Structure 1
């Protein structure tokens, strides 16, 4: 029996990606899944056509997967931004750009419609990822601890850091698939919540992230986290996931 080397290589790479970006897959798939359910049929079909063969959920992981590709080094700082008090201050940002400006820039480029087929697909995948990322509170950093990466701690007896706990630790402990979580969270989305999320600007998103900092940084003196920290912050994580899905759907409908 002959094996197609390209198929085998693709399979191996998919395993490597799932190991390196385990929460990335779950979290981004989850938000994309909920977004798909909220989109107008006409918008969803247009978005799926641009992203094909990727789904909206799958495309949300792409921007993490290209981090090792030097051709995309220019987007490395687009995953996050710095805000001291909930306001956007250009002087605090990385020279290569930031999530706040990238969202608006990419959205404008997609609306203008002057991109090639490949460029449109890449830009759309970036936009999806960044909108999702910015709803993780530590992707709106203080500028003092690299979004919690420098806050060393233990999480369930394993050496970790605060950013990793919010990126993967809490949600991984749920031990549920993205469809299970997505269906559960979607049932909690009321019309009033949806209106509130849609009637907001990216500046409001920054204020929300900063407002959550007291809870995010409420750490025990011994810096050992387990069930209590995850339990205390679960509702925040769930709310951020719901908010991201609604706002991503809103932006996609404005473009398509």
Structure 2
């Protein structure tokens, strides 16, 4: 009986942890993979040297993994922000900070230089993760339902929540590796799309996220989701990951030209 209880607790905790992560490991890996394909060679060399032995794709999951280390509790709220209508209002954010403020601050610190190798690597991994996170629509939340974590749903018969569905559920459902998805999405990136994404401001990023809310929250009355919701919305997740890869490559080139 004790062994069964232990296994049940372990499964419960693993589900809770997986629902707290953003984009899931697959999403972070493939955004980094696509960004790497777009970066200038000089930028890629500098970034690889700082992150070694981690790859750019792998480093995108680091900020989720350090949640188990209490010494990084200060960054717990940096994965998301609140925005009602696409605005950034510091007074509505968590007192310990948010993704919008942290991205700008850490980007400036990395550009200024003078950091020791460990600090620089950690700040760079945080920046990569947050830029990727903020492109998941539910990481720009209303402030009312914890970014969809409180919206309980069934996804192909499995109990989960709306946030977890967008983090990983729909992506994992594809049954493909991050390189397979990354290659498929990279083929769709046109010069016009790249220019559009690169010319946007961070406030534009928030407006983009808010614009998708009607589709994201368009759930059936019984909150049981399957093929129709996937058909209507997975293309949004794909577009968001493409946009994140373009902007991540752009930011890294600005810091490490």
Common fold by TM > 0.5: yes
Per-residue Cα deviation, 1:151-171 (whole angstroms, up to 9, x for no partner): 111111111110011011111
Per-residue Cα deviation, 1:135-192 (whole angstroms, up to 9, x for no partner): 0000000000000000111111111110011011111110000111111111100000
Identify unmatched segments of 5+ residues in structure 2. Answer: 1-13
What is the CA distance between 1:227 and its match in structure 2? 1.1
| Equivalent residue, structure 2, for 1:4 | none
The alignment partner of 1:181 has SS state of helix
| Equivalent residue, structure 1, for 2:96 | 96
| Equivalent residue, structure 2, for 1:173 | 173
d(CA) in 2 for partners of 1:151 and 1:51? Answer: 36
Question: Which structure has the higher relative contact order (CA within 8 Å, separation 6+)?
Answer: 2
CA contact (8 A) 2:215 2:233 kept: yes
| Equivalent residue, structure 1, for 2:11 | none
The alignment partner of 1:159 has SS state of strand
Query: So what's the TM-score if we normalise by structure 2?
Result: 0.91
Cα gap change, 1:23 to 1:95, in 2 (>3 Å): closer
What root-mean-square deviation, in Å, do the aligned CA atoms of Structure 1 and Structure 2 show?
A: 1.3
Answer yes or no: is 1:159 the counterpart of 2:159.
yes
d(CA) in 1 for partners of 2:151 and 2:26? Answer: 24
The alignment partner of 2:85 has SS state of coil
| Equivalent residue, structure 2, for 1:117 | 117
Query: So what's the TM-score if we normalise by structure 1?
Result: 0.91
In the alignment of these two chains, the number of paired residues is 239
| Equivalent residue, structure 1, for 2:83 | 83
The alignment partner of 2:153 has SS state of strand
d(CA) in 2 for partners of 1:164 and 1:185? Answer: 21
Cα gap change, 1:80 to 1:22, in 2 (>3 Å): closer
Answer yes or no: is 1:73 the counterpart of 2:73.
yes
The alignment partner of 2:219 has SS state of coil
The alignment partner of 1:160 has SS state of strand
d(CA) in 1 for partners of 2:156 and 2:92? Answer: 34
d(CA) in 2 for partners of 1:200 and 1:153? Answer: 33
Per-residue Cα deviation, 1:203-225 (whole angstroms, up to 9, x for no partner): 00000000000000000001100
What is the CA distance between 1:230 and its match in structure 2? 1.2
Equivalent residues in 2 for 1:1-256 (5 A)?
20=18, 24-256=24-256
What is the CA distance between 1:22 and its match in structure 2? 10
The alignment partner of 1:153 has SS state of strand
CA contact (8 A) 1:23 1:172 kept: no
Identify unmatched segments of 5+ residues in structure 1. Answer: 1-15
